[in-house]
Amino acid sequence: MSSAQIEIQLIAIIVAIACAIPGTFLVLRKMAMISDAISHSILPGIVIGFFITQDLNSPLLILLAALTGIITVVLVEYIQKTGLVKEDTAIGLVFPILFSIGVIMIAKNANDVHLDVDAVLLGELAFAPFDRLIVSGVDIGPKSLWVIGSILIITVGLLFAFFKELKVSTFDAGLAASLGFSPAVIHYGLMTVSSVTTVGAFDAVGAILVVALMISPAATAYLLTNELKRMLIYAICFGVFGAISGYWLAHWLDASIAGSITTMLGLLFLVVYLFAPNKGIIAVMYREKQQRTEVSLLTFLLHLKNHTEDSERHVNHLNEHINWQKVRSKTVLDLALKNNMIQIDKNIVSLTEKGEAFTSQAIDYIITNEDAQIEHMKNDFFLFRG
Amino acid sequence: MDITEYIKLVFTDYTLRTITLGTAVLGAVTGMLGSFAVLRKQSLLGDAISHAALPGIAIAFLITGAKDSNILLLGALVSGLIGTFWIRGIISKTHLKSDTALGLILSLFFGFGMLLLTFIQKQPNANQAGLDKYLFGQAATLLERDVWMMTIVTGICLFVLLLFWKEFKILLFDADYTKTLGFNTKFIDILITTFIVLAIVLGLQTVGVVLMSAILLAPAAAARQWTNSLGVMVFLAAIFGAFSGVFGTAISASQNNLSTGPVIVIVAGIFVLVSFIFSPSRGLLFKQIRFIKNRRDLQLHKTLSFMFRIAETHENISHPHTIKILNNFQGFTRGTLQKLVRKNYVKLDGKNWSLTEEGFKTASNLYNQQSENNE
């Protein structure tokens, strides 16, 4: 590995971590699309900043662009407050218009601006190591590494300082307000951090892919855990994994680094989406199937309890009476047998003592409809656990 | 270039005519379908779909090697639909919320698309130039057959819209009721989403992936302010969309270095702004005027009821009182007093005022109504 390669990976990793932290909170606060809006609407801020400073990495430009991000949030909230359109429409209107203003500003001044819409939106990480920061003649590393590094340090500092406040206001804004933390301050603080991070990172990975780095590690982590600290750690790990593996994918395919990082994050999400232990698609579908069988079993047992006559309890009769397919009735019957709920005597089904007890409890549950009871019931009897 | 000259040019110049027609048709169809997206609170779906269409374009190119825009748009359609249904899968099967699902699919598909585009650029066959036009759109590349294609799709949209108008409308406003009536809600839902995806894909070539959502939303959001009827809204949105297209093209054609897409978006944004401010029933301006008028009315009533309470204590209701005693009461201004005189509720005589018969009657009714309302 050459030093340029190491530097690129280092920048990618730091960007990934700096994005994952605010991203986690955005996902939890249901504001993921705001980050998309910010990433587009900072363009006019970048252009104006560029007119003034002529340098894409100057702090003034970052501040101006972050200010545009805040203006976006305020505008969206104002439009939403007027009640003329819904929040999502407000977001969808504000950012393309600001973005268009930026594009037109670039186009009108194309001759004296060395700024490309593609570069702002898509970024090019491969060139980042060539723009070096030189302090009194000594080369101390790529500029964007310093920019995004300082943003990361500020973000981490703020995270540790205000972790408690962030946590409370994210999950219970009312409680936070009554405890004396202003939700508005935390809200706009988070928005500011997101804007600054977006601006700092656009140079490396491009504005749109910042969104990917913010949302997808957090969303992937959210499928695996419900605990905030763990979610943060997972999100950071996923981000770092995406950054490194994405870099090598790009190296191998000779394609855009930012695109490969996103693709790796996408694959990671797909895998977790399918196979996550509790919330993955396969687990959810399996659970739904089990629950369907459980309900069928309950219906079946209630039917048995209600009928004493032999004809109603004949095995063959069940198919037509409850209107089940053959396979389904077989599954239910086997399950009930395995749990000692029923006994079959000459093709006549009857409840055992355990089955009687279970069914009475089930009726109790249906009458009172208290959630606690069914959990209790499941523990007493159930079912798929051998 | 003055306007008459420009209009003449629109009818004679092939490129300008094609672009003007194309953007007008595009604006109309997106406005029409955008109304449904806005009312179904799926506004950001447009943004997600347009980004999700990018890998489809790249893959279609990789497979066929052709630059034929219809094939590329077919790829975009397929990948847009996959994105849409994946979003639905995420929302319905996991606990991730809709905004996360949208942002996720948007950015992941777009990133994958970028990977493919940069991969294609490094390939030896050189005729790939022109794929990036789908990023920001280039109306100048519209050909006459693209416009025909748009017109045909618009025609189909219109036909289906009219055919299923009742179903679309009822699903929009009360999905549960629709289900109980026995309509196949899933089918209607998929049909309408597919058409929204189709409209977005059509616009990719003209305005590009990034700005497509605004073209979809802005005309509909503007139209929403002028009416409460779905039919009128769809019609107005189509008109606003078409005019944004025509004006946007005109402005960008008359200036150097202006790409059409962003200008159309800004024109549409101006439509929205004007509608937000000047719409008679919902607009901010008239709302503010109504607000001020109500406040004045309330002050007037306050003054009147205060006078009434004073007049009540006297045998003769028209007994004169000095204006001074009203002074410690904030509802009173010279203006409201004049207004009361003009309405013939109060008589002024130098520094004294007195209630008229009519004023007393109104004031006592006012009081009764208020107490009735309070109960």
Which residues 64-93 in chain A show a CB within 8 A of chain B? 79, 82, 84-86, 88-89, 91-93
Q: Which of the pair, B288 or A109, is modelled with greater confidence?
A: B288
Distance CA A141, CA A138 (A): 9
Model pLDDT, residue B127: 57
pLDDT-based confidence at residue A318 (cuts at 50, 70, 90): low
pLDDT at B324 over 70: no
Which residues 39-58 in chain A show a CB within 8 A of chain B? 40
User: DSSP string spanning A121-185?
Assistant: HH--GGGGGGSEEEETTEEEEEHHHHHHHHHHHHHHHHHHHTHHHHHHHHH-HHHHHHTT--HHH
Structure ipTM over 0.90, yes or no: no
pLDDT tens digits for B29-88?
999 999 998 888 888 888 889 889 989 988 988 888 777 778 888 889 999 999 999 998
B273-278 average pLDDT score = 90
Out of A41-50, A153-162, B87-96, B300-309, pick the least confident. Answer: B300-309
Distance of CA B276 to the CA centre of its chain: 9
pLDDT-based confidence at residue A385 (cuts at 50, 70, 90): very low
pLDDT tens digits for A353-382?
777 777 777 777 777 766 666 666 665 555
Distance CA A56, CA A115 (A): 9
Distance CA B90, CA A31 (A): 16
Query: DSSP class of residue A314?
Result: B
Model pLDDT, residue B73: 85
A78-86 average pLDDT score = 85
Residue ranges of alpha helices (H) inside chain A are 3-28, 32-53, 59-82, 87-108, 117-122, 143-161, 163-171, 173-178, 183-205, 207-224, 228-253, 257-275, 281-306, 315-322, 326-338, 353-368, 371-381
Distance CA B99, CA B41 (A): 12
Burial B217-249 (b: 16+ CB within 10 A, else e): bbbbbbbbbbbeebeebbbbbbbbbbbbbbbbb
What percent of chain A shows pLDDT beyond 90?
A: 19
Model pLDDT, residue B1: 55
B124-139 average pLDDT score = 66
Model pLDDT, residue B329: 56
pLDDT tens digits for A177-197?
888 888 888 888 898 898 888
Q: Do A32 and B284 touch (CB under 8 A)?
A: no
Q: Is the CB of residue B112 less than 8 Å from the CB of residue A259?
A: yes
Distance CA B233, CA B253 (A): 30
pLDDT-based confidence at residue A65 (cuts at 50, 70, 90): confident
CB contacts < 8 A (A, B): 195
Query: DSSP class of residue B361?
Result: H
Residues in chain B closer than 8 A to A214 (CB atoms) = 103
Tokens of B333: 């201004």
Q: Would an 8 Å CB–CB cutoff place B280 in contact with chain A?
A: no
A289-304 average pLDDT score = 79
Out of A174-188, B292-306, B349-363, pick the least confident. Answer: B349-363
Distance of CA B309 to the CA centre of its chain: 50
Model pLDDT, residue B372: 47
Q: Would an 8 Å CB–CB cutoff place B298 in contact with chain A?
A: no
User: DSSP string spanning B13-81?
Assistant: -HHHHHHHHHHHHHHHHHHHHHHHHHHTT-HHHHHHHHHHTHHHHHHHHHHH----HHHHHHHHHHHHH
The dihedrals phi and psi of A71, each to the nearest 5 degrees, come to -60, -40
Distance from CA of B248 to the nearest CA of A (A): 12
pLDDT at A384 over 60: no
Which residues 48-87 in chain B show a CB within 8 A of chain A? 51
Q: Would an 8 Å CB–CB cutoff place B221 in contact with chain A?
A: yes
Cβ atoms within 10 Å, residue A245: 17
Residues in chain B closer than 8 A to A209 (CB atoms) = 107, 110-111, 114
Which residues 144-203 in chain A show a CB within 8 A of chain B? none
Distance of CA A341 to the CA centre of its chain: 43
pLDDT at A87 over 50: yes
Model pLDDT, residue A135: 72
Out of A85-89, B204-208, B323-327, pick the least confident. Answer: B323-327
B283-309 average pLDDT score = 82
Distance CA B164, CA A222 (A): 40
Distance CA A152, CA B265 (A): 35
Confidence (pTM)? 0.83
Distance CA A221, CA A343 (A): 47
B189-215 average pLDDT score = 86
pLDDT-based confidence at residue A352 (cuts at 50, 70, 90): confident
Tokens of A151: 């943003």
pLDDT tens digits for A109-129?
766 666 666 666 667 777 777
Out of A279-288, A313-322, B54-63, pick the least confident. Answer: A313-322
Q: Which of the pair, A214 or A111, is modelled with greater confidence?
A: A214
Q: Is the CB of residue B221 less than 8 Å from the CB of residue A85?
A: yes
A337-344 average pLDDT score = 77
User: DSSP string spanning A237-282?
Assistant: HHHHHHHHHHHHHHHHHT--HHHHHHHHHHHHHHHHHHH-TTTSHH
Residues in chain B closer than 8 A to A32 (CB atoms) = 97, 99-100, 102-104
Model pLDDT, residue B267: 92
Q: Would an 8 Å CB–CB cutoff place A31 in contact with chain B?
A: yes
Q: Is B353 helix (H, G, I), strand (E, B) or coil?
A: strand
Tokens of B338: 């004049």
Q: Which of the pair, B252 or A321, is modelled with greater confidence?
A: B252
What percent of chain B shows pLDDT beyond 90?
A: 19
Burial A122-135 (b: 16+ CB within 10 A, else e): bbbbbebbeeeeee
Q: Which helix (H) or strand (E) holds B284?
A: helix B284-312
Distance CA B135, CA B76 (A): 12
